[in-house]
Every structure is written in structure tokens, then in C-alpha cells.
Amino acid sequence: MLLLLSYVHFNADVVARDGETLKVYVWLPDSAVSGTDTFPVPVVLVRTPYDTLGIGATYIPYLTSMGYAYVVSTFRGYWGSTGTRMPFLADGWGDLQDGYDVATWINSRPWSNGQICTVGGSALGFSQYFLAGTGFPLTCMAPAVAGINLYDEVYPGGVFRRFIAEYWLTAVGATHMLDTLEKYYVYSDTTPWYAVNGYRRLSYYSEPGLHLTGWFDAFTEGAIGGFQRLQYEGGSGAAGKQYLVVGPWMHNLGDRSVGDITFPPNASDVSVATYVINWVLYHTGRGGWDWDTMPKVTFYLMGDVSVPDTLLFNRWVKTDTFPPRGGIPYPLYLHSDGRLSGDTPTTATLSYTYDPNDPVPAIGGFDYIGGAIDRDSILFGPRDLTPWDSRADVLTFTTDTLTSPVAVVGKPEVELYVSSDRYDTDFMVFLADVYPDGRAILITEGVLKMRHRNGTDREELITPGDTYRIVIRMRNTAYVFNSGHRIRLYVTSSKFPSYEPNPNTGNPFQMDDPVKLVAHNSLHIGGSRLILPYYNLSDLISIGERQARSGPLRCEVKGRDVLCDGDFTVYDVAGRRVNPTGLKRGVYFVKYGNRLMKVVVK
């Protein structure tokens, strides 16, 4: 399709509430001058620190030819905007609310019809979550490769994500912000983190949301968490109107080659741009897909790439929840001989020495965020972890060869009984798929700082020598471990430069702490186990067909999940809408069709 350059472009200044000037770059359909269109028009808004074009120059003629105004607003301190650079901290609901001020200015323009949809990924996605959380009534948002809570992206499990923080703040010329990150390493609503924690403002969100991410992106957890919480706890206009797309991608959505793995061509069948365009069209009343009839979740079920199978895995799955209904906990116990099995092990202790001056070198992972860094670096994506096998500070536990595929969808958990001779240390776990040729491909990971074992909003040092039960919640995934493969769990205390090595002192956190102590860490066998969110594979791949079945509606309780044919909503006894998966024991009410039914989760 040939698109002519038919738009009017100009720059303008928006005065923020503190008097600083925020630069906006505006493109309008040229019919604004010729008079052939009826104004006002809907607006597509992008907020960014990167440049003055937002999602790219190629989209400008496309959007304006469809009758949209396109507005790029640069963060304070960037590209003509005045003020001190403080990425994101001026974009939420603190004393400064730059996104809100820009959106308010747009709605005051004669060329705006009051409809604003936000789009964009990475920093452009974070800014959407934070603008929407101010309570400004957006028409729709489509954040990609971003998260709803900034603290969790910087300090997962209380462990500082050093590589991402240093690289990104250096790239955007804001390294002074590292001091702020270091100062506020414990979460509190009285710190700057509150203004960029959307979980504390769920009822303020009022817009439909399309959350787009990849299983190997840096911010997968924040996107899935944003979808889940807003779907069930968002304000009017947001609850029940959230959609999620997760592909087998890193930060570059749509690219099927990640790390050591290349997924089949169908991994690129979902076009993020097509989804976003149809999302904006529909919510501004200009056509597009009928989203009200579409499944809420589209995710790629990954698996063995050495076989051509795309029926059981390496395929797209559509459902209305994530995780899907029907999963059950599948425990695998850690044994002192390195086995991982369903058998209860005998009591034993495995120990290793963790030296923060010699941390485990990062192989693979979830730190790629685009820019000038090499996406093919050994640091990123699903990589072979077997070089770790020879390290004395890494413990490995592996199942026997699988005789049938094992489908895992959601957040694996690792329950460990641990001790240390220091007042603080870290524990990290990595889940890998061991191929028949011996490669152990990283699938997901989780980390925890011991002082934050009971929450990142508090510090509780440990007593040297005492044993503690901890639970490390790994990143969400959707993966089928194929027959002939094995499942492996790595346990250690560092991964550098992904995470800042814990100096084991128990002192307040600081980057590059000059005082580092060697820790002797122990894992106690007996109750330590990996808990996989397991699904019957045939049920999982037929989920969409089950939901589309015609005939009488039927509901049942399976484990901790409520399963119904067709659309339904679950409420607790207080009348609050809740996620139908992973319910606590108790009484719930299910509304489906014109019926209301009581169910009991035992």
C-alpha cells in the first residue's frame, strides 16, 4: 500500500506543574489544513527519552493517513524538554506527573477529540503504565516489554539487577540515578518507588490494556503481573478488559532466534504491530478486530526445537486466563546424589563456598533491553548452562530421562531449606531443559536475598548456622520438556554481571561494596523441592476448543482452580472479583451466563 506524506508537523511546549517545559512533537492529518476531515481526531501518544519520533518514522504517515494525530512527548531533560533527568520518577503519581500534564494539554487542543491511546515498548511501555496509574482517563493503552512496578524490575527478590540498571542509565545519560536506586534498596511507600508501583494504584486504572511481552524479555514479570492484577482488580473500564500476548521472544518482539535457540517460523505468526493497530482502531471506534469476542490471552507454548513437532508444543495457545485453568503442583525433590525426583529423599546437607570476589559468570538470561548491546551476547536468552557444571559453588539436580512430555505453564517455585555462616547471602535457582545431546538450556530463573526472605519491604538478617525455609518464585514460563529430555535445577548464590554479588556482610546495600566476605552456604536435603505448575498436555492444547464448545454451561472445581465452559467470573464472599486460578480454600461464587453458583475450594 502506498502512503503519501500527508500530514502537518509542528513542535509545542507543555508547561509542567513545576514550571518546567515538556517538548511535544505533533503530527496531524493534512486535512486539518485542507478542511476535508471533520476535527477533532483521536490521538496516539508516545512518551520517550530516546528521540523525537517515538515508535518510528514509518508509522507517522500510516497513522495520519487513517485520521489520527500522533504525538511524541519527550521525558524531562531529553530532546528539548527542560528539567533534571529523572527517568520515570516524574511520570507516575508523585509530586511531578509529566505524563498526566501532557495528556491534559492534548485534550485541551482543538484537534483532539478526547480519545488518547498510548503505545510503545520498553521505556515507552513503562511510561504508559505510570501515566495510566495517575487516574488520567486514557482510551486505551498498549504497553510492550515493560512492567507495572519499577521496583520489582530493579530488585527482584531484593537482589539488585546490576547489568540492566547500569547499562540503561548510562545509555540515557542518567547515571546519577544509580545513587537513588542504591539508597532506596528496601521498598517503602514513603520512597520514590511508590509513585511508580502500579500495584498500589490498581483502582485508578480505567482503560483497556494490551500487554505485550516475550518469555525471554527483561520485564516479562511486570507485563504478566500488570495483566493479571488489572484484569481482576483494576478500576471501572480496566477490570475484565485486559489482554496479554507472550511470544518466545526477547526484547525484540517477533524475533524467533533467541540465545542458542531458534523457534519454528510460526513463532513469528503473531505480529505485534498488527495487534496494536487493531487495538487502537477498535477502541477509538474506527474498526479493527472485535476484541470483545477474542480470548484474553495468547501465549506461545515452547518446547524442543530439535524436532519438527508444532502440534504438542512450539505453538500458540489462546485462553482467557494466565496461567490457564487446570494446572496442578508437581513436586520434584532434591536428592543429595544430584537426582531430582518425586521420591522423598533421605536427610542430608550439601554445602558450597560462595566468594563474592569470584561470582558465577552469567550465561544466558533475561537482561537484553535493546540498544547498542549485542543481542547475541552469551549473557542473553536461553543458553547452555553446562559450563557451570564444573564449578564447586553450583549445585545441580537432574531428573531421569522423561518418558513422556511434561508441560509447565506459570511460575515454578523452589522451596529450599538453607543456612549460612553469614548474616546475609543470596540464593539463586535456574531451571534448564537437558537435551539428549547434553546441552542444558536455561528456561527460567529466580533469585532471593536472605534479608528479604519475608518481603522486600523489610530487612531481617539471618542467624549464622540457623536453618531457614525459603521459597524462590521463578519467572513465568510456558514450556514442554519433551520425552527423551531431562529437567535440571541449578542452585547457587551469584550470577554476575546480571546481579550485584552479595558481599555477605549484612551491612546496608551499596554497589561495589569494598568489604566482601566469603560465605559457606548449605542446602538441607529432605524437604527442599522444585514445584512445577504442571498441565496435562492434551488438555492444555485443547483449551481454546473447550472454551468454544457449545451446549449447556458447566463449572467444576479442579484443585485450586474453577473451570467453566464459556465466559465466567469468580467472586469471593466479600463480592470482590478474583482470579479463578490458584484460589485459597473457601467459598466462592461463580457467575456465568445468567446463573450464579456457589463453589467450595477445599
The backbone region for 395, taken as left when phi is positive above 0, alpha when psi lies in -120 to 50, beta otherwise, is beta
pLDDT of residue 239: 97
The 10s digit of each residue's pLDDT in 248-276 is: 999 999 999 999 999 999 999 999 999 99
Q: Which three cell numbers stand for residue 145?
A: 516489554
pLDDT of residue 547: 47
**C-alpha triplet 192, 197, 203: angle, nearest 5°:** 130
pLDDT of residue 32: 60
Q: How many CB atoms lie within 10 A of CB 229?
A: 20
The fold for domain 7-319 equals: Rossmann fold (3.40.50)
Q: Which three cell numbers stand for residue 177?
A: 540515578
pLDDT of residue 550: 35
Q: Do strands 586-592 and 577-578 pair parallel, antiparallel, or not at all (unpaired)?
A: unpaired
Partnered with residue 491 across adjacent β-strands are 395, 429
Q: What are phi and psi of 489, to 5 degrees?
A: -120, 125
Distance CA 195, CA 49 (A): 18
Q: Which residues of the chain have pLDDT under 70?
A: 1-6, 31-38, 544-554, 565-567, 573-575, 592-596
Nearest C-alpha neighbor of 239 from the set 252, 228, 251, 253: 228
Q: Do strands 486-492 and 395-398 pair parallel, antiparallel, or not at all (unpaired)?
A: antiparallel
The fold for domain 328-535 equals: Jelly Rolls (2.60.120)
Domain ranges of the chain: 7-319, 328-535, 549-601
Distance CA 381, CA 63 (A): 33
Using CA atoms in the order 205, 208, 212, 215, what is the torsion angle rounded to 10 degrees?
70
pLDDT of residue 309: 82
pLDDT of residue 373: 87
- 7-319 against 328-535: fold identical: no
Nearest C-alpha neighbor of 376 from the set 268, 251, 220: 251
The answer to whether 69 and 111 have CB atoms below 8 angstroms apart is yes
Distance CA 29, CA 111 (A): 10
pTM: 0.90
The 10s digit of each residue's pLDDT in 58-100 is: 999 999 999 999 999 999 999 999 999 999 999 999 999 999 9
pLDDT of residue 548: 38
The answer to whether 362 and 498 have CB atoms below 8 angstroms apart is yes
